[in-house]
Structure 1
């Protein structure tokens, strides 16, 4: 796969992960949901948060590494021009 496709998939994964985290938090805070579903509702909300964290954190690390590599190439290219 090309790097552009990988970055798009990672960005989608980040957005999906953040949406799951916000959804899980909203479900826990919602008194109606926890009253309606009891302990199973809390487990569902916690699972949403856990899956959201799993989706969002590794992709952020990978994108940070890609940005650091791009910055190295940029600085290397511009340091040769100024000499």
Structure 2
């Protein structure tokens, strides 16, 4: 699976990365270098973050499926239990 950002997210990430490098690290870096660095991060770290999100979603779904028995369970043969007068 190819890890890519949509156009707006890519632009926002470039702007944020440039600001971080400039303001926090005092590194004046050009657009080409920033784009390359972002591509590296997305391709190198992106799959790890994606896989973590998938694992967390699976765990949540499995927990919900496990709870479904309690939510939809109905006692069987309850007619006689509801009325003490009936025999």
Max Rg structure: 2
Instruction: Name the one with the larger helix percent.
Output: 1
